[in-house]
Amino acid sequence: MKNKHFIIRIATVAVSALLIIAAYAFVVGDGTIFKGNSDGETLRARVIRVNDVASTSVNGESEIVTVSFKAQVLDGERRGKTVDVIQEIDRTYAFSPRQVEQNDKILIEGYTEGGKTLFYFGDYVRITPLIWLLVIFCVLIVAFSKMQGFKTIISLGFTCLAVFCVLIPAILNGHNIYFWSILVCVYITVMTLLIISGYNKKALCAGVGCVSGVMCSGLVVLISDKFLNMTGLLEEESVYLYQLYPDNPIDLKAIIFAMITIGALGAVMDVSMSISSALSELKIKSPDIRPKELMKSGFTIGRDMLGTMANTLVLAYIGSSLTSVLLLVAYNSSLGQVINKEMIIAEILQALAGSMGMLLTLPLTSAVCAVIYCKKEVSGDASC
């Protein structure tokens, strides 16, 4: 039996990888995600030494600090070569980057002028510390959950690939955003449940409840759009996104749909799996329980979960947009004006649509569990 479950999980991982590769090839076409529009090249480098620091005043109001230093290129065709780099710091800006120091890992940008390439300081490398934090997270989750934690890491990796290698390229390459959002949600649900739980009744019940709940959230968004008069212009980045392809602009209202369905998926999946797992355990401990009683137990468990999960969604959305909310409150004269802003409406819609999706997931998962867990066996003997 253990070998069977192991083979199923290996097959799930293989099929999930093949689906990602196939979907990537279909939506991208030219084989690249990040095409880029920059005229120069961006390289990682390490500061070897600082040669000179000069300060100049502009109109007696601002101070420009120019730092000349040598850096060793760490990637690309110039890897291992030493280049001269310039960093310009405008002291009038409160959040100007600090002056570079020896052994700093940085990004440099090279521009060719008159046959000569000039390099300028771009930013500090922040990916390396983030990778170490990710490694610590993986080690901790495997240490605490052992094999289950390892399976969680694999499913999380496929989830990120589905979003960054399928959904985002599909949007940028003009594919139907509604279709690919739903398809990615279904893929993440099925893949995650099969890897985490395996091919069993518990995963089936959770999958049906999760997909139904996410579809409910998406339906709420589509219906609400008729009454809220949404344009999709939530922030400054939305304008840039709309102007990215003037001949075939991206549907910003469809972006809201994708944003809400993907955002609700995690919470809805958590609720559906929790209900399915709890009722599965209850059925094992009480094999004679009736379907009606099993479903009623699911409702009771779900009611306790709903309040905390709804808070999770609301607090997550508020926390992610706290800076924007603070600015809106500071520059508007009333609470009504703040709430009426489309960006705030979108955040509220996210929370409400996600919560309504969870609300549907609770009874539906309970009902599906009652039917499937208490289904009569092939031999004719009732399992309830």
**What is the block-wise mean pLDDT of the chain (384 residues), using blocks of 10 residues?**
74 92 86 59 90 77 83 88 89 78 90 83 88 92 87 92 92 91 94 88 91 91 85 79 82 90 88 90 87 88 78 75 78 76 84 86 90 64 45
Considering the chain, what is the average pLDDT of its residues?
84
Please check whether residue 50 is in contact with residue 69, taking contact to mean a CB–CB distance below 8 angstroms.
Answer: yes
Q: What is the DSSP secondary-structure string of 258-307?
A: HHHHHHHHHHHHHHHHHHHHHHHHHHHH-TT--HHHHHHHHHHHHHHHHH
pLDDT digits 0-9 by tens, 296-330: 888 888 887 877 777 777 777 777 777 777 877 78
Instruction: Return the pLDDT at 383.
Output: 44
Q: How far apart are CA 2 and CA 11, in angstroms?
A: 14
Strands 82-90 and 116-124: parallel
pLDDT digits 0-9 by tens, 202-218: 899 999 999 999 999 99
Alpha helices in 92-200 (DSSP H): 127-145, 147-162, 168-172, 177-196
Assign domain 2-16+146-373 one CATH number from 1.20.1640, 1.10.10, 2.60.40, 2.40.50: 1.20.1640
Q: How far apart are CA 379 and CA 381, in angstroms?
A: 6
Pinpoint the residues of the chain covered by CATH 2.40.50. Answer: 41-125
Q: Mention the CATH class of domain 41-125.
A: mainly beta
Give the count of alpha carbons within 13 A of 374, CB side only. Answer: 20
Task: For residue 73, give both structure tokens.
Answer: 């290129």
Please check whether residue 258 is in contact with residue 181, taking contact to mean a CB–CB distance below 8 angstroms.
Answer: yes
Give the count of alpha carbons within 13 A of 230, CB side only. Answer: 27
How far apart, in Å, do the first and last CA atoms of the chain sit? Answer: 24
Pick from 179, 166, 216, 152: which is nearest to 361 by CA?
216
User: Which residues have C-beta within 8 Å of that of residue 264, sequence separation ≥ 6?
Assistant: 213, 214, 217, 313, 350, 353, 354, 357, 358
Q: How far apart are CA 135 and CA 139, in angstroms?
A: 6
Task: For residue 212, give both structure tokens.
Answer: 């139904």
Strands (E), 181-266: none
DSSP state of 39: S
Annotate 243-273 with b (16+ C-beta within 10 A) or e (fewer): eeeeeeebbbebbbbbbbbbbbbbbbbbbbb
Q: How far apart are CA 53 and CA 209, in angstroms?
A: 63
Please check whether residue 158 is in contact with residue 191, taking contact to mean a CB–CB distance below 8 angstroms.
Answer: yes
Instruction: Return the pLDDT at 378.
Output: 36
Pick from 167, 224, 177, 206: which is nearest to 351 by CA?
224
Please check whether residue 352 is in contact with residue 220, taking contact to mean a CB–CB distance below 8 angstroms.
Answer: yes
Rounded to 5°, the CA angle 158-162-168 comes to 150
Instruction: Return the pLDDT at 178.
Output: 93
Pinpoint the residues of the chain covered by CATH 1.20.1640. Answer: 2-16+146-373
Pick from 354, 358, 363, 361: which is nearest to 221 by CA?
354
DSSP state of 163: I
Strands 62-73 and 82-90: antiparallel
Q: How far apart are CA 382 and CA 375, in angstroms?
A: 7
Please check whether residue 65 is in contact with residue 88, taking contact to mean a CB–CB distance below 8 angstroms.
Answer: yes
